[in-house]
Amino acid sequence: MASIRELHQQLVSKARSATEITTAALETVNKLEPQLKSFLTITPEQALAQAKQVDAKIAAGEDISLLAGIPIGIKDNLCTKGIRTTCGSQILNNFLPPYESTVTTKLAAAGAVMVGKTNLDEFAMGSSTENSAYQVTANPWDTTRVPGGSSGGSAAAVAADECVVALGSDTGGSIRQPASFCGVVGLKPTYGLVSRFGLVAYASSLDQIGPFGRTVEDAAILLQAVAGYDPQDSTSLDVKIPDYTKSLIPDLKGKRVGVIKETFGEGLDQVVAEAVETAIQQLKELGAEIQEISCPRFRYGLPTYYVIAPSEASANLARYDGVKYGYRAEDAESLMSMYTQTRAQGFGAEVKRRIMIGTYALSSGYYDAYYLKAQKVRTLIKQDFEAAFESVDLLVSPTSPTTSFKAGEKTSDPISMYLSDLMTIPVNLAGLPGLSLPCGFDAQGLPIGLQIIGNVLREDQVLQTAYAYEQATDWHQQSPKVCA
């Protein structure tokens, strides 16, 4: 599928209508969904209605935004008024939100065309999209493998041209890791840059919404549309939003790039290490000054995250009790048995595991030993990044220690599954922007991702570096087998 800018030109020049573009996207969805299972809900009627509105504007000679008429996928933990929103969970099987999330409101106002809601690990808890209560999404590069998680449906849909761009959410790597596995661009913005109003909460101090695209420019255009202050989100940052596309220049002269020493070594696949090292060399050739940087507490990110995130999940998921909305267990004899049966039947194994970890960490007598200590380590991790940014503008690392693994390979070993977010989690703990973009393939033809990390609110620098690298290479022009 063409890029946002190319499609915009086709629309403005009347070479194609929004209805034609949307129909083509829906045909691709219908053709590939039996194999890929990227979408939990497909919305053809709404998509075609939105496309017709764009066509009417063009016919009337009105100006349209860059996103008008562009097919987009929305992760199914973003509330869409009157359209089923499940979070990949049985407990929200038939939930129809009574309100719209801020980001989807903004996209609708821009004229974007929603083709459907994408699959995810239940409540965004997972790294493979195998924890969905409904279906396992396949990786378009090899349908026996996972697309990553938790935003696996969004990443797979963009990689397979089922939509041009998509929104995901990232709590510990849930945009960047699937972007790496699916060979697309995925960006987690600075915490608070994009409103979380209408995003179903997993871990409120870590969650952030961000874009997927086939190119860096597409991701930048989508970020532009959803970023900005929202009084309905108490953590939203009231800052001026720059024009991110203006920072897309293919030159890195004078950019100081730090390579995080701790992300190379034990546990990193050799093929991933070699691809990332070659990419770093490419950045040097584009004018960047490369230096090694140590973030000594980086490796404590994983254990810190798996205390803080489940603790917040334990509190956030207490609302799913079968009383006001969502699934309710039948035949309960008392209020307490209704609560316990509803939660036992409605939640999957991974969600239950994290609720129990979090409830234990917050319980009397353990709060100081676990939760409080984890928050202190989080501060130390943040301080490591702050020290690093005193001597460099950006940091780079592999996005994931491995390429995509086989479906079912890690489902019985939660710890090895958690390790696939080793490189991405510290970025969430520090609230920084991070982007993954393709930087090579392994011997099986599976994509490898390069992670670029910026300082707070320096999405412009992250996008510039990613764009310069992308323009000097052709990884983003490769297409998965499923599209051939």
What 3 state SS string does 234-281 have? Answer: CCCCCCCCCCHHHHCCCCCCCCEEEEEHHHCCCCCCHHHHHHHHHHHH
Number of domains in the chain: 1
Q: Would you state the structure tokens that stand for residue 345, as one six-digit string?
A: 């039947």
Query: What was the pLDDT predicted at 230?
Result: 98
Q: Does residue 216 sit within a domain? A: yes
Residue 177 lies in a domain: yes
Assess if residue 392 is contained within a domain. Answer: no
- Asked about 150 being catalytic, the answer comes back as yes
Does residue 190 lie in a domain region? yes
Q: Residue 200 is part of which domain span?
A: 4-254+398-483
The verdict on residue 196 lying in a domain is yes
Low-confidence stretches of the chain (pLDDT < 70) are 483-484
Q: Which pTM does this prediction carry?
A: 0.97
Question: Can you give the pLDDT at residue 414?
Answer: 86
CB atoms within 10 A of CB 19: 18
pLDDT at 76: 98
User: Do 224 and 4 meet the contact criterion of CB atoms below 8 Å apart?
Assistant: no
**What CATH number is associated with residue 465?**
3.90.1300.10
Paired tokens of 425: 């989690």
Residue 387 maps to a domain: no
**Known active-site residue 311:** no
Contact assessment for residue 198 and residue 60, using Cβ atoms and an 8 Å cutoff: no
Catalytic option among 174, 236, 311, 397? 174
Q: Classify strands 289-293 and 434-441 as parallel, antiparallel or unpaired.
A: unpaired
Which one of the listed residues 89, 127, 128, 150 is annotated catalytic?
A: 150
pLDDT of residue 27: 98
**Which of 57, 75, 106, 255 is the catalytic position?**
75
Residues whose CB is less than 8 angstroms from the CB of residue 291 and which lie 6 or more positions away in sequence, other chains included: 256, 257, 258, 259, 391, 392
Nearest to 72 by CA among 189, 225, 200: 225
For 228, residues 6+ apart whose C-beta sits below 8 A from its C-beta are: 106, 194, 195, 241
Catalytic site residue 75?
yes
User: What pLDDT, on the 0 to 100 scale, is given for residue 412?
Assistant: 87
